[in-house]
A and B are shown apart, each in its own frame.
Chain A
Amino acid sequence: MITVKNLHKQFGDTEVLKGIDCEIQPSEVVCVIGPSGSGKSTFLRCLNMLEPVTKGEVIVDGRRLNDPETNINMVRTEVGMVFQQFNLFPHKKVIENLMLAPQKVRKVPEKDARERCLNLLEKVGLGDKAEEYPQQLSGGQQQRVAIARALAMEPKMMLFDEPTSALDPELVGEVLEVMKQLANEGMTMFVVTHEMGFAREVGDRVLFMDEGAIVEEGKPEQLFSTPQSERTAAFLNKIL
């Protein structure tokens, strides 16, 4: 579903990603862990071209992203994204947050869009919040709306950029629950996270990144219990 070949990313003189190769299969849940500044968020943002790629290839669903011929907006409709800071549209009601892109990009008629979006809100447990504004909701609820908003485009895969890092501890669970449900339904997911419990339980594969490169990857139980690299071991030691 996603193929990454020799991905490099530079901000000015700083090389943030130093040649990443990665393959993500349909329905796979890949979790990325690593210290801050290791480039994991940048990596994720390269997968839908929120960050332009400096060198290398990113191929999503058969389309090469850094090809001028590729319609990046089309690719993005297939790749949902959830942000650390939610980034809901504060001037729009919850239901309007969900309906905007389907109506404007996919040209779904309003009635159909509303019905589908209400179902999605039900699915994330917020059917009763449709007519409220984002700032009236708790952080956990806002992030669930953000997930529903991404799902409203019926994407083939979802990117999560530290979706629970901005949440109060007691609100983390409800968001992870929604993500788990999504994973169980077979959604392809790429998750940058500090939630080791989630990575262990839901992840099919875990990547450990440090200094702009993938240091180690493997099945969660293997990587968490018997890390091969010293850096992985040191990192896990500090946080577990």
Chain B
Amino acid sequence: MIGRFNWAGMVDFLPQLFTGLYYTLLISVVGLIIGFILGGIFGLGRIAKAKIINIISVVYIEMIRGTPVLVQAIWIYYALPLIIGFEIESVTAGIIVIALNSGAYIAEIVRGAVQSIDSGQMEAGRSLGLNHNQTMRYIIWPQAFKRMIPPLGNQFIISIKDTSLLSVILVPELIFQGRLIAANHFNAVEIYTTVAVFYLAITLTLSFVLQRMERRLDI
């Protein structure tokens, strides 16, 4: 049976969907900020000379890249409390998942960008008497950061969409709210269409901002 869209009453659900949007944004923003810091640390750890730091970074990156986000979410929400002995609130767990997950991918982006800078830049800095850290800070990082922006934008968008999987650990984000409404009002098609528009609004805004940024920085 093919029915028709029934948008009647959709406005009434908007407040609930905006609550979902709030959590989606909260987890995305906080998760990605922490993920960016993790990515910076482990990305540099991946190319560090110290073996032990190197191994820790590789293990972290490969563990995360090798398992689905869904599994990571379930594991952190349900399994981790068994180890640490206390429960983690679902929103906190969601932030941890997004941070850990994006951190691993961002680490690879950071590593790639730093390694893509011509080795002559490091040599030029060192030959002037700058030490390794100074050369990284004033010469390598600023150039690498510019190159990181396009792949970072990509990762941000992926991570934002990954938050939709967090409904399985009861994070009250967009999908969670949508499913709740749809179950009670039998309007899954209209609700999920609206939810899709919400996601698009976030990702398109981000794309636009990134594009402006790339143009300004002349990448």
Contacts and interface: CB of A to CB of B under 8 A. Distances in A.
A150 B121 CA distance: 14
Interface stretch (A3-11, A79-87, A136-144, A192-200): A79-87
Interface string B6-43: 00000000000000000000000000000000000000
B120 A100 contact: no
A101 B130 contact: yes
Interface in B112-155: 118, 120-121, 123-131, 134, 138-139, 142-143, 146
Contacts, number: 59
A56 interface: no
A149 B124 CA distance: 10
The number of chain B residues touching the other chain, given as a range, is 10 to 19
Contacts of B129: 73-74, 76-77, 101, 105, 153
A235 interface: no
A83 B118 CA distance: 13
A111 interface: no
A153 B121 CA distance: 17
A115 B2 CA distance: 79
A83 B120 contact: yes
Given A90-B143, A100-B138, A104-B138, A73 B123 contact: no
A79 to B, nearest CB: 8
Interface string A35-61: 000000000000010100000000000
Most B Cβ at <10 Å: residue of A77, A104, A149: A104
Nearest to B134: A104
Given A73-B131, A104-B134, A104-B138, A87 B120 contact: yes
A91 interface: yes
A91 B128 contact: no
Given A85-B120, A87-B120, A89-B121, A76 B128 contact: yes
Given A87-B121, A104-B134, 20 more contacts: A50-B123, A50-B126, A50-B127, A73-B131, A74-B129, A76-B128, A76-B129, A79-B127, A83-B124, A83-B127, A85-B120, A87-B123, A89-B143, A100-B139, A101-B129, A101-B130, A104-B138, A105-B128, A150-B128, A153-B128
Of all A-B residue pairs in the complex, the 4 with the closest CB atoms, nearest first, are A77-B129, A87-B124, A101-B128, A87-B120
Interface of A: 48, 50, 73-74, 76-77, 79-81, 83, 85, 87-91, 100-101, 104-105, 149-150, 153
